[in-house]
Each structure stands twice: as structure tokens, then as C-alpha cells.
Amino acid sequence: MGIFGRGPGYNTPTSSRQDRRRARVRRQQPHHTTRQETERRVQRLIIAGMVLIALAVVGIGVFGYYKTNEEPKREAVLRVGDRKFDMGYMKKRVSYTIRNATPGEPALLNAEAAAVVTINGVEEEELNKQSEWKLDISVSDDEIEAKIREKLRLPEDVDTNTYAESYREAVRDSGLNASEFREVIAAEIREDKIRQNLRSQIGDTTEQIRMRDIRVVGQEQADQVLARLAAGEDFAAIAAELSQDLTTKSKGGEMDWMPRASLDKATADAVFALEVGQRTQAIPSSSDRTLYIYEVLEKADSREITPEQRTLIEEQSYSDWQETIRQEVSVTAYYYVLTGGQYVPTAMYRELIAFATSQGAGVSAQP
């Protein structure tokens, strides 16, 4: 190495002026690689834009389909306690109700009856499920399996493969999934157990009453009947003329002996407070817009319960059980709204009725 510089073969640093000059030369020369990269970048942006547009179109379509077809299925029709029953489930249950109804049952009368029977049935099932603990009742998997075998008419010792195939076919035909199908079976078992519990509480004798009744529609007609009775007209004659109770109309409104426990509480309290020969005011029905006017014919503090009366008492006891737990469990129905003092069906309810029509409700109304 020399005193004033580096040895031969070693690159000496260039001046800043030389660097700038070389940079200008490079910028002035065509750079084909950079142009190609730019073109590729533009192409990628165009493709990416097209993909985004396609995804947006698909997304709009999917969103539209969801809003039109899927979201309505998730709309609540009924809520019992913390459990919600949506439109999708209710449609499956309407279909199940119609398929399993026998000729003459209300569910086959018309589409609205099918919808009402289904909604009320689902509400009843869930009320029982949430309150079964009050009667120390439960339903086991073994009981469900046994009930399914009974419905499929399979012996207890049926082989596994035969049972499995029959079970899959039953679930498929029901229109429900396996879990929903088993839940419906469990609900039947649970109701049977509740009824058995209530039946066991019925004695051999009970307080009973014999009456006449006049069934009318609306308060205006009730007031007219009461006015005619007050004017001295014969109860039996008015019953034969105007009563809507077809089972007693031809007999002047006369009814058989009725146990107190076979009547709803409002009616029982009203008629058993009267003496023979006295009449009630118009008592609203618990199930529709009709009203009843009763006249007491006979009373008995203790009278033997007949098999037919036992059935009536059981039905009323079950109805009372349902009403009691309905007061304790919050029930919200979304298929009608209260407007101007009247219940108005919603679009959801009309949709459910239309679906029931499509499933054949009303087609087989006659036995």
C-alpha cells in the first residue's frame, strides 16, 4: 500500500457528483422490468376488483335469500318461559299435527283450526315440561324408547337393526328431526303421567248439581234473554228457541247431574251459590265468545261419581292444572296483537294458516 492511497485492485470511493450523474443516466434508460411489473400489478387489481364485485353480488343475493326465506323462520311465534318457538318449528309441528290427526278431529276441520290446535298444543306441552316437578314427574329415555316401540307396533325384544330402520323411517315421515320427534313422544308420556296423578285424586262421591242452560253469543243477546226471563217467560221455552247448546236445546236446556269438579271455577262458584229455582247472570265461556245462563234444578251434597263424570272431572282437573301453571310461567303469543280492544291476527299467523292449507288441512274434515 502506498502512502497516499490504497493498493491496486481495490475500488476507490466515487464522488457524490459521479453518483448523481450515474443515477440520472439510469433514470433516462428504459426499464422494461418495472413496466412489466406495473402491468401485472394493474391486472391483479382488475381481477381483485372483479372478485370483490362478484362477492358483493353473491353477498347481496345470500342476504336477500336469508331475509326472505331464513329470517322469517326464526321469528318467534310463541314464548313459554325462557323458551322460544319460531316459525320454522311451528310449520313442522303444523304438518305433524295434520299428518297424525284422525278424521273428525278439530285439526282437520280447516287451516285455522290446525294452526290453533298446534300452537295451543305446543304451549301445553312446554307448560307441562317446565312444571312437571310440581307433581314429582319425569320422563326417562327408556320410557321414550318403549313408547316409540308401541307406536311402531314393535315387540319389546325386536332386534336392533329392525328397530333402528323403523325409527329412522318414523322420524323421516314425521317431518321433525330426531330430537324434536323424541320431544313430542316425551310430551305425550308426560301428559299421561299428569293425568294419572290428577285422576288418582278423584274420590268416589262428590258435590253435584243439575241445571238448565241457555247458551248465547255476545252480551247483547244475553241481555235480551235475561230481560225475557225477568219478564216471566219460561226458561225451557227460551232455551228451545235460542240456545246455541245443541246437546241440551231439544230438552229445554236440561242437563245431567254435574260434579262440582267437572265445572270451571267461575261457573262452579256461581251455580253452587244458588238455591234451587234461581238463575245466574250471563257467565262468559273460558274458550270462546259465548255466554251461559243457568237455572238450578237440583243439588246434592254427596252423589256417586259415574265413569262418564270421572272423565269430565279429569278433563276439568287437567284444564285447571294448565291454567294454574299458566299463571306462574310467562307465556307470550306473537301471532296476534291487541288493537282497539280486539285481538287481531298478524301476518305471521296468516302465513301459518296458509301453510296449514298447503298441508291439506280441511281436505279430510269429514269422518
Query: Do 333 and 246 form a contact (C-beta atoms < 8 A)?
Result: no
> Could you tell me whether strands 258-259 and 290-304 are parallel, antiparallel, or unpaired per DSSP bridges?
unpaired
Judgement on whether residues 95 and 190 belong to the same structural domain of the protein: yes
* Single-letter amino acid, residue 147: K
Q: What is the pTM of this model?
A: 0.71
Specify if 253 maps to a domain: yes
pLDDT value at position 156? 86
Judgement on whether residues 221 and 196 belong to the same structural domain of the protein: no
Boundary-marking domain end, from 304, 320, 346: 304
Q: Which range of residues forms the domain containing residue 279?
A: 205-304
Judgement on whether residues 195 and 210 belong to the same structural domain of the protein: no
For residue 113, what are the contacts with CB-CB under 8 A and spacing of at least 6? 106, 107, 361
CATH (domain of 245): 3.10.50.40
Judgement on whether residues 134 and 161 belong to the same structural domain of the protein: yes
Number of domains in the chain: 3
Sorting pLDDT into bands at 50, 70 and 90, what band is 118? very high
> Could you tell me whether strands 205-217 and 258-259 are parallel, antiparallel, or unpaired per DSSP bridges?
antiparallel
Sheet order of strands, 290-304 included: 258-259, 205-217, 290-304, 283-284
Q: What is the pLDDT of residues 160-209, one digit of tens each?
A: 999 999 999 999 999 999 999 999 999 999 999 999 999 999 999 999 99
Q: What is the pLDDT of residues 204-247, one digit of tens each?
A: 999 999 999 999 998 999 999 999 999 999 999 999 999 999 99
Judgement on whether residues 125 and 273 belong to the same structural domain of the protein: no
Judgement on whether residues 233 and 259 belong to the same structural domain of the protein: yes
* Single-letter amino acid, residue 120: N
> Could you tell me whether strands 76-80 and 83-86 are parallel, antiparallel, or unpaired per DSSP bridges?
antiparallel
Judgement on whether residues 144 and 210 belong to the same structural domain of the protein: no
**DSSP per-residue codes, 133-185:** GGGT----HHHHHHHHHHHTT--TT--HHHHHHHHHHHHHHHTS-HHHHHHHH
